[in-house]
Structure 1
Amino acid sequence: MASSLFRWRAWIFCSLWLLTNPLHAEGRYQLEKVVELSRHGIRPPTAGNRKEIEAATQRTWTKWRTPDGELTEHGYSAVMNKGRWQGEHYRQLGLLSAGCPSPADIAVRASPMQRTIATAKALVNGAFPGCSIPVHHVKDDIDPLFQADKLEATQTDPIKELAAKRAKAGNLPALQQRLQPTIQLLKRAVCASVKDCPFFDRPWQFKQTRSGHTYVQGLSAMASMVETLRLGYSENLPFDQLAWGHITSAAQITALLPLLTANYDLSNDIFYLAQRRGSVLLNAILQGINPGADALPKTRWLLFVAHDTNIAMVRTLIDFHWHLPGYSRGNIPPGSSLVFERWRDSQSGERFIRIYFQAQSLDALRQLQPIDAAHPLLREEWYQPGCKLTPVGTLCPYQSSIEQLRKRLDPKAIVPVDYALPSS
């Protein structure tokens, strides 16, 4: 409770600071390095999600103008707004200089999918307009940083995975009962009639795929519905195309998000799974923030653009729990990012790490609201004992924090990563 209160106060403090106290490079605390892990922007449901939710509701969901699973034009613009603010912010802090950046300023690596590559381009085009920053990605569809679940070295034991998820869930029928008010809200929003959706009344149960991965049958499909509705609201779909006219406000989306949180809790937010599938990415982030690292590109801003699952696994490894206004606990909106910063006290020479999660609100995404002092990003900061609140945010002792985070990695799940990649 005390740590949650501190994080809430830290979020308020940082929001007020963004409004009232712009920083300058000549201040006591100097920003030296940023490693950012961003989720892609707004997309329609993936083909698999569409099949799942249409089978459950027995009706056809809206076809977007953008192909399923790809970044939309609206999503591109929302991400550009974020990138534009970040470029200005980092120039103000002295991390970046004016004009187009050099290779020492920024390096970008995206997951090898259209929506992540396009999101990366939107971010850098917003931050560095007209500069044609290269976006690096692997040629095939498996990047060890982002698709670790497809690697032999990171596979989970099906028995251990099922046991870990059952332990996290506790009493699964009781969880389903607690979420009944939210389930009924979703049912009324997406079903043609109560009789047309028997799916919603079936008991949840753990199921294993042929590959041995475990999911909660029932909850998984409901989470896909909620995610599709949240994305549709953020996309500014007309209300009659969003949920057949049943959802007309951000508050109604917010009320459904606990189902998405429950699914995170029983999928990517399992420590055993996060260690197996997220250690290679967290290890790269920790190497990237290290002033003496040799393997990664030596840039001031190292930007990874991937998926909500990647952010969920990293946040589970570092024990970071956020709750942004207008979202449910642990929600990861499109275009949001988990940011690691290295700061230096110019008076003492001491270094610090700052970690925070940031996102735009539902209505800011829907309305393409530019980010500025009057409309800041929502933000919550990571806090551990020994961290301190400063004018630049929550700063934590660098060396001890890095050592603590490294202890949470699974060395057997860390595979070599090639950083000499083609770009587009």
Structure 2
Amino acid sequence: MKYKLLTLSLSAALLTPIAPALANTDNAENMQLDQVLLLSRHNLRTPIDNTGILTEVTDKKWPAWDAKSGYLTTKGGALEVYMGHYFREWIDQNKLVSDELCPTGNEDLFVYTDSMQRTIATAQFFTAGAFPGCTIKIHHQPEIGTKDPVFNPIITNDSAEFKEKALLAMEDHLKGLDLKPGYDELDAILNIKDSQKCQTDKLCNLSTQKNSFIIEANKKPGVAGALKIGNSAVDAFDLQYYEGFPLDQVAWGMVNSADKWKKLNTLKNGYLETLFTPKIIAKNVAHPLLNYINKGFTSADKGETAKFIMLVGHDSNIASLMSAMDFNPYKLPEQYEHTPIGGTLVFQRWHNKSDKKDYVKVEYVYQTADQLRDNSYLSLETPPKHVTLEMKNCPIDKNGYCAWEDFQKVMKSALEE
């Protein structure tokens, strides 16, 4: 297997010309799927912070979970089996790998994950759904629970200038968000005015609290204040809904409309995007992952690496990578999260047999909020949702394809710091 961990350097980016019109991609018979790379977020886990500050901002009791904090749940495993089953049907339909039940060799499949329980388990369940009965190697760091440098979105620039610009970028991003409706909704749900934090620290209204951003070398971008509290609380509510808790236990029965879910998730989306998508931060923290993908997918010649590559990481990996690569804004119908649980970026390399050129298509494939809650079976007949994405400097045609050469230049530009 030639796909392996990679160095983190790359030559300077080339300027991106305007792409020519794409030829004959509307004829499906012309298009042959040559390679696929999935960048997935782990599936359904338990809340990471269901104690500590969350117990101080409400006088209500948080529901108990039957797994350790941050672990993939049993239902998360079932959901990922279904996602694996769907993708196996899809790659069979497109004749990407051999028709055998199990991959015939390393040229077909390569799976690599962060070394957390939830990411490793996600890959295990996915491959069980896609290749039932097969022995599939999941590549990860030897010690479970240690962060893999490829997936660890930490700051690597320790200069004072970088820190100043990064902090300013986070402040500027936050100023552009209208989070007050979400904070007001959360205040009411938590009954924060009667909480311990209100009594001891006068934290009685989240929208009036100051946020303090943190940029330190070898650590993730961070924040202290209302934004962090809002993210943790809404994350817990989302997970309760997905897990199938009775509705009177999901946010204590106080989130009963799509409008309320949308308001609340502005806090969660705002947290992720403020910390990880300002360009100066995104290009820094996503660099190891971008470099890995570039060497193993973008720059690799056909046959050098596996036809089907699966990477499993976190929402911060997806958000920072998409920012670094200049993806255009997108919406995910029937989801409130911008980087939902179990969702995956699907990078597809297609060959046009008519003009003998390669093209790339990128889709966000994800389960809707209700598919997650209902544990919906996935197949070609009952698929997850698909949203075609576009990068600023890789224009797509009506079928979602952009020129492979332009995609390569996008990746090089993303890697230039």
Shorter-chain TM-score category?
Answer: 0.7 to 0.9
Give the equivalent residue in structure 2 for 1:110.
113
TM-score (ref. length: structure 1): 0.81
CA distance in 2, matches of 1:281, 1:156: 19
CA distance in 2, matches of 1:302, 1:387: 24
1:401 aligned residue (377, 402, 407): 407
1:189 paired with 2:192, answer no
1:30 paired with 2:24, answer no
2:44 aligned residue (42, 45, 57): 42
Is the 2:89–2:379 contact (alpha carbons within 8 Å) kept by the matching residues of 1? no
3-state DSSP of counterpart to 2:57: helix
1:76 paired with 2:104, answer no
CA distance in 1, matches of 2:310, 2:380: 23
CA distance in 1, matches of 2:228, 2:255: 21
Change in CA separation of 1:293 and 1:350 when aligned onto 2, cut-off 3 Å: closer
Give the equivalent residue in structure 2 for 1:147.
152
Q: CA deviation at 1:217?
A: 1.8
Is the 1:229–1:253 contact (alpha carbons within 8 Å) kept by the matching residues of 2? no
Give the equivalent residue in structure 1 for 2:180.
180
Q: CA deviation at 1:158?
A: 6.0
AA partner of residue 152 (structure 2) = Q
3-state DSSP of counterpart to 1:62: coil
CA distance in 2, matches of 1:81, 1:114: 19
- TM-superposition CA deviations, 1:33-86 (whole Å, max 9, x none): 01111000111111x453232233354422211111100011111111111100
Give the equivalent residue in structure 2 for 1:5.
none
1:368 aligned residue (367, 372, 375): 375
Which structure has the highest helix share of the two?
1
AA partner of residue 342 (structure 1) = R
CA distance in 2, matches of 1:272, 1:59: 40
Q: CA deviation at 1:385?
A: 5.8
Give the equivalent residue in structure 1 for 2:17.
none
CA distance in 2, matches of 1:209, 1:345: 45
Is the 1:161–1:214 contact (alpha carbons within 8 Å) kept by the matching residues of 2? no
CA distance in 1, matches of 2:356, 2:173: 51
Change in CA separation of 1:244 and 1:301 when aligned onto 2, cut-off 3 Å: same
Give the equivalent residue in structure 2 for 1:319.
326
Change in CA separation of 1:313 and 1:386 when aligned onto 2, cut-off 3 Å: closer
3-state DSSP of counterpart to 2:118: helix
AA partner of residue 45 (structure 1) = P
Is the 1:149–1:155 contact (alpha carbons within 8 Å) kept by the matching residues of 2? no
CA distance in 2, matches of 1:181, 1:97: 52
Change in CA separation of 1:157 and 1:366 when aligned onto 2, cut-off 3 Å: farther
Change in CA separation of 1:31 and 1:69 when aligned onto 2, cut-off 3 Å: same
Q: CA deviation at 1:162?
A: 4.8
3-state DSSP of counterpart to 2:35: strand
CA distance in 1, matches of 2:137, 2:35: 19
Change in CA separation of 1:210 and 1:110 when aligned onto 2, cut-off 3 Å: closer
Change in CA separation of 1:129 and 1:158 when aligned onto 2, cut-off 3 Å: farther
AA partner of residue 122 (structure 2) = T
- TM-superposition CA deviations, 1:202-248 (whole Å, max 9, x none): 42222437767542521111011111111111111122332122234
Give the equivalent residue in structure 2 for 1:235.
243
Give the equivalent residue in structure 1 for 2:223.
215
CA distance in 1, matches of 2:35, 2:248: 45
Is the 1:343–1:353 contact (alpha carbons within 8 Å) kept by the matching residues of 2? yes
How do residues 10-25 of structure 1 correspond to structure 2 at under 5 angstroms?
none
CA distance in 2, matches of 1:269, 1:49: 26
Q: CA deviation at 1:293?
A: 5.0
CA RMSD, aligned part only?
A: 2.8
Change in CA separation of 1:331 and 1:290 when aligned onto 2, cut-off 3 Å: closer
3-state DSSP of counterpart to 1:379: strand
Give the equivalent residue in structure 2 for 1:304.
311
- TM-superposition CA deviations, 1:93-135 (whole Å, max 9, x none): 0102321112221110111011000000111111111112111
Q: CA deviation at 1:252?
A: 3.5
Give the equivalent residue in structure 2 for 1:359.
366
Q: CA deviation at 1:337?
A: 0.7
3-state DSSP of counterpart to 2:275: coil
2:261 aligned residue (253, 268, 272): 253
Change in CA separation of 1:162 and 1:203 when aligned onto 2, cut-off 3 Å: farther
Which has the higher mean CA deviation after the structures are superposed, 238-247 or 299-308? 238-247
Q: CA deviation at 1:143?
A: 1.4
CA distance in 1, matches of 2:179, 2:153: 32
Q: CA deviation at 1:373?
A: 4.8
3-state DSSP of counterpart to 1:389: coil
Give the equivalent residue in structure 1 for 2:11.
none
Q: CA deviation at 1:188?
A: 1.8
1:127 aligned residue (107, 127, 130): 130
Is the 2:43–2:77 contact (alpha carbons within 8 Å) kept by the matching residues of 1? yes
TM-score (ref. length: structure 2): 0.82
AA partner of residue 377 (structure 2) = P
Change in CA separation of 1:131 and 1:53 when aligned onto 2, cut-off 3 Å: same
How do residues 56-71 of structure 1 correspond to structure 2 at under 5 angstroms?
56-71=57-72
Where does structure 2 lack aligned partners over 5 or more consecutive residues?
Answer: 1-25
CA distance in 1, matches of 2:232, 2:159: 25
CA distance in 2, matches of 1:125, 1:53: 36
Count of residues in correspondence between the two structures:
377
CA distance in 1, matches of 2:154, 2:66: 31
Give the equivalent residue in structure 1 for 2:279.
271
CA distance in 2, matches of 1:171, 1:234: 29
CA distance in 2, matches of 1:57, 1:36: 39
Q: CA deviation at 1:339?
A: 1.5
The percent identity for this pair of structures is 27
Change in CA separation of 1:237 and 1:249 when aligned onto 2, cut-off 3 Å: farther
